[in-house]
Amino acid sequence: MTIFCVNPIVNGVRKVFELSYRTWPERWQQEMTSAKQRRHQGVLEILRETGKATVNELGMRLGVTEMTIRRDLEMLENDGVLQRFHGGAKLAFGSSYEPPFPVREKINADRKRLIGERVASLIDDGDAIILDGGSTGLAVAEVLVDREVTVCPLSLRVAWAFARSSTVNLIMPGGSVRPAELSLSGADTIDYLRGHHFDAYVMTASGISLQHGFTEWNADDAAVKKAAVGVADRVVAAVDSSKMNRVGFVKICGIDVPAAIVTDAEMSAEDLNHLRNQAEDVIVAG
């Protein structure tokens, strides 16, 4: 007579069920958070394109209900990202200056992640690099966090991304911290950079244009970036397509200075061709 021992099987099924039951709320919450972030990014991209939009227009373009859009707009307004008006919303900032970090972090987040991955592939283990701040610099940091590299961050946000890494050798320059942006600048930062040598500088910028090159809105940040260009063997520029044909207040360097410009697939074919005529190398991420 064959005797089946069912208890181990039952117990195994029970454990799998219990594990799935425990993790399901967490997975559901993560998926809901991700969906909300994508909607928020979509809202901001639409408003950047159009300047303003109605709740109905946003709902139709994003494929969600007006009630969902109203909740999203309320959250984004509380973040200082946009201003609501009756039946719609507009950006809280104009197109003539750099929007605050919380706004930039939400705009083109997926593209910046791809740029970050591609930039990281250009960095070798053992390299000593300078890494800019801003939303694109943070995207690069998130990919490099498990690499064996030495990083000199130009932002407290980027520094914090590496703070718990067991593989990254984090070295901090001195300097003044710019409120809200948390970038490092001033004579102490520049002196620190000039006292060291780096294999690469991962540079971000507020704008890039054929006539004016790479530009920055803040003069203090631009001065630090210029110093970083001068102490690195090679410069890798990480700029998403929204920065194309935008001109900041202060020039950092020309188009031909970086060894590579890494951007995203939304860059127009015409702009890519113009860049490739002037740049050393242009890489499209994604």
The 10s digit of each residue's pLDDT in 213-234 is 999 988 999 999 999 999 999 9
Q: Are 69 and 62 a contacting pair, CB within 8 Å?
A: yes
pLDDT over 80 (residue 80): no
pLDDT over 60 (residue 170): yes
Residue 96, SS3? coil
| C-alpha span between 191 and 71 (Å, rounded) | 47
pLDDT category at 75 given cuts 50, 70, 90 is confident
Model-wide pTM > 0.75? no
The residue type at 125 = D
The 10s digit of each residue's pLDDT in 92-140 is 765 444 556 566 565 667 888 999 999 999 999 999 999 998 889 999 9
pLDDT over 70 (residue 33): no
> What's residue 50's pLDDT?
82
| Cα angle value 115/222/279 (rounded, 5°) | 50
| C-alpha span between 164 and 150 (Å, rounded) | 14
Mean pLDDT of 177-204: 94
Q: Which two tokens stand for residue 132?
A: 């800019």
| C-alpha span between 48 and 267 (Å, rounded) | 16
Q: Are 141 and 120 a contacting pair, CB within 8 Å?
A: no
Go through the chain and tell me how many residues it has: 286
Averaged confidence pLDDT in the chain: 85
Q: What residues does 236 pair with on adjacent strands?
A: 202, 260
Taking Cα atoms as reference points, which of 254, 247, 175 lies closest to residue 206?
A: 247
> All domains of the chain, ordered by start, with CATH?
29-91 (1.10.10.10), 103-285 (3.40.50.1360)
